[in-house]
Amino acid sequence: MTEREKDLLHEAEQRLTQSCMRERGFQMWITPRRPILQDRDLPYGLHDARWASVHGYGSAFIAQREKLRKSDPNRRYFTTLSAGDRQRAVDALHGRTRAERLEVVTPTGMTVGRFDDGCTAEAQRQLYGDLRAWFTVSTVARTLDEQRRRQVINDRAFTKAVGTWSHCMKERGFTYDSPGQARAAFMNDGGTRTAPGRKEIRTAAAEVRCADLTGLAATTRLLDERYGDRTRDAHRSVFNKKSQLEKDALTRARALVESG
């Protein structure tokens, strides 16, 4: 799905959850799926020179995320409730422990479960039609996505390219063994930055340049595509079912959002 379609499903689910919570006597505010649009997930490192030249490694987003967390109206509302009402609100949102529990065993062997009577579950039931099917395929797909990333990072071609990348960085005065280590050097300062510093920008720019020169960026794209294809081939029924549920849900989401 496109980012716009994902945002639409998120908004529709939030509206349905809000309505359900209101019926159960509690308030809820709708929050965006992507509160910081420029923020990015960087599982394999930086490969975008333009983004790096502006945001570095994204260290300034840490403070922004924390500010949003503290000002979140739902979080603040829950803190105003008494202990008893807070527990009832949590039960209303996520379900009660005595409710029926949905469970799925992921491809990694982990059992993931949830209760089926909370407002989040009710919203997904209305949006996707079949709560059990949606919980199963969305959980499995998310696990497979995480597994694909681990496969890429553990591939010998990737680790070899990272070694070459590290040598390239050292030639430019940056001693980092991996892109993750370089990023951590600027992301572990306690979230005090309001903007990336000069060193962060220079380091991020060098990372992108070395990723291009050494072939790390190209190797990453190739491996991600290769493992992605293998994953989809091996679990085609899961991805087909998820796609169909999302397609049907988009129709309901558009009607819901357009109707207000």
Per-residue model confidence (pLDDT) at position 15: 97
Q: Average pLDDT, stretch 213-227?
A: 98
Give the count of domains, the chain: 1
Q: Average pLDDT, stretch 68-72?
A: 94
Per-residue model confidence (pLDDT) at position 226: 98
pLDDT above 70 as % of the chain: 97
Beta bridge partners of 102: 114
- 70 is in which domain, residue-wise? 3-259
162 residue type, one letter = V
164 residue type, one letter = T
Q: Average pLDDT, stretch 29-57?
A: 95
DSSP per position, 98-166: TS-EEEEE-TTS-EEEEESSSHHHHHHHHHHS-HHHHHHHHHHHHHHHHHHHHHHHHSHHHHHHHHHHH
Distance CA(28)–CA(226), nearest Å, equals 42
Cβ burial 78-107 (10 Å sphere, 16+ → b, else e): beeeeeeeeebbebbbbbeeeeeebebebe
Confirm if 214 and 168 have CB atoms less than 8 A apart. yes
pLDDT band at 77 (very low <50, low <70, confident <90, very high): very high
Per-residue model confidence (pLDDT) at position 188: 79
Please name the residues in contact with 95: beta carbons below 8 A apart, sequence gap of 6 or more.
114, 115, 116, 117, 118, 120, 121
pLDDT band at 191 (very low <50, low <70, confident <90, very high): low
Q: State the sign of the Cα–Cα–Cα–Cα dihedral 226, 230, 236, 239.
A: negative
Per-residue model confidence (pLDDT) at position 189: 66
> Among candidates 102, 104, 144, 105, which has minimal Cα distance to 124?
102
Please name the residues in contact with 29: beta carbons below 8 A apart, sequence gap of 6 or more.
18, 73, 74, 77
DSSP per position, 13-37: HHHHHHHHHHHTT-------S-SST
Distance CA(216)–CA(29), nearest Å, equals 43
Distance CA(216)–CA(159), nearest Å, equals 9
pLDDT band at 190 (very low <50, low <70, confident <90, very high): low
- Hey, what are 26's tokens? 């509690």
Confirm if 46 and 202 have CB atoms less than 8 A apart. no
Confirm if 253 and 11 have CB atoms less than 8 A apart. yes
The 10s digit of each residue's pLDDT in 109-151 is 999 999 889 999 999 999 999 999 999 999 999 999 999 999 9
Confirm if 56 and 46 have CB atoms less than 8 A apart. no
Per-residue model confidence (pLDDT) at position 179: 96
The 10s digit of each residue's pLDDT in 55-69 is 999 999 998 999 999
181's torsion region: left (phi>0), alpha (psi -120 to 50) or beta? alpha
Average pLDDT, rounded, for the chain: 94
The 10s digit of each residue's pLDDT in 157-185 is 999 999 999 999 999 999 999 999 999 99
Q: pTM to 2 decimals?
A: 0.89
pLDDT band at 99 (very low <50, low <70, confident <90, very high): low
